[in-house]
Amino acid sequence: MKKYFSIGVFALLILACSTNPFTGKSTLNFTSNDQIFPTAFAEYDQFLKENEVIKGTKDAEMINRVGQRIANAAERWFNANGHEGYLKDYRWEYNLVKDEAMNAWCMPGGKIVFYTGILPICQDETGIAVVMGHEVAHALANHGAQRMSASQLQQYGAMAGNLALGLGGSSAQTVELFNQAYGVGTHYGAMLPFSRSHENEADAIGLRLMAIAGYNPDEAAQLWKRMSATGGEAPPEIMSTHPSNQTRIQNLKALAPAAKQEAAKFGVTSFK
C-alpha cells in the first residue's frame, strides 16, 4: 500500500508540472485556470462588496491607467514570444480600496487591489507601476495556483509519513514527533523559501513589464528604499514569506539593466 501511495504521488507530480513562459522552468501546478479563476473572481467581487472601493478620483483613475498599460505590455510580450492567447481567460480589474495597510495584491486571473496606504510609498505613477508590475507578474506566473499546489503536496507528504509509520508499528508518540518535525521542517525549509522565490520572480518579471510599458525600472529600488524607511520590526528573512528589504533593493538594482534591454526589443528606450 505504501508503495502504491508513493507511486501515485510521483505520478501526480509529473502530471502537475507546467512551464513558466517567463523563466522556461517547470513549475508545480495541480489546478487549471478553469478551476481556479471562477473562484478567485467570486472572492474578489465579495471583497469589493465588503470594503470601501474608491472610484472617480485621480488616484483611482491612475491605478486603472497604469494597470491597463502593464497588462498591455504583458500581452505584447506574450505575443512576441510565441504565447498568443495566453491571457484569454484573464479578466483584468484594478481597484483602489480605502485601507491604511501599505499593501497591494492580485488574485489569479488578474483581479488587483491597491490599498490607499501604499500610495504615499508609491508617490507617483511610476511608483504605482513598480507595485502593479509586481502584482501582475504574480498572476501571470500562476503563483497563487502554485502555492495551493505546494500546500497540497505538503499535506500528501504528511499523509505518506503517517502511513509509513503506521504500517511500521510506530507508537503514537513517534507519529506525533514526526508530525511536529515535519511541520516545522517543511514550513521553514520548503514553504517559506518557495514563497520568497515567488517574490523574487515577480520582481524580475514586474521590472520587465513596467519597462515595456514605458516606466523607469530604476525606480523600483527607490520605492523599496522608501518602504524600508517606514521602519517597523521585520522577521529575519529566513523566517519570512518575503525577501528582506535590503535583499530586494540589491536584486532590483541588478535586474534593472536587463529590464531596459527587454524594453528596447519593443522599441521602448525612454522611460517615465
Residues annotated as catalytic are: 135
CA distance 64 to 166: 55
Q: What residues contact 127, with CB distance under 8 A and at least 6 apart? A: 121, 219, 223
Chain position carrying cell 508540472: 17
Residue type at 17 in one-letter notation: C
53 beta partners: 97
3-state SS string over 190-256?
HHHHHHHHHHHHHHHHHHHHHHHCCCCCCHHHHHHHHHHHCCCCCCCHHHCCCCCHHHHHHHHHHHH
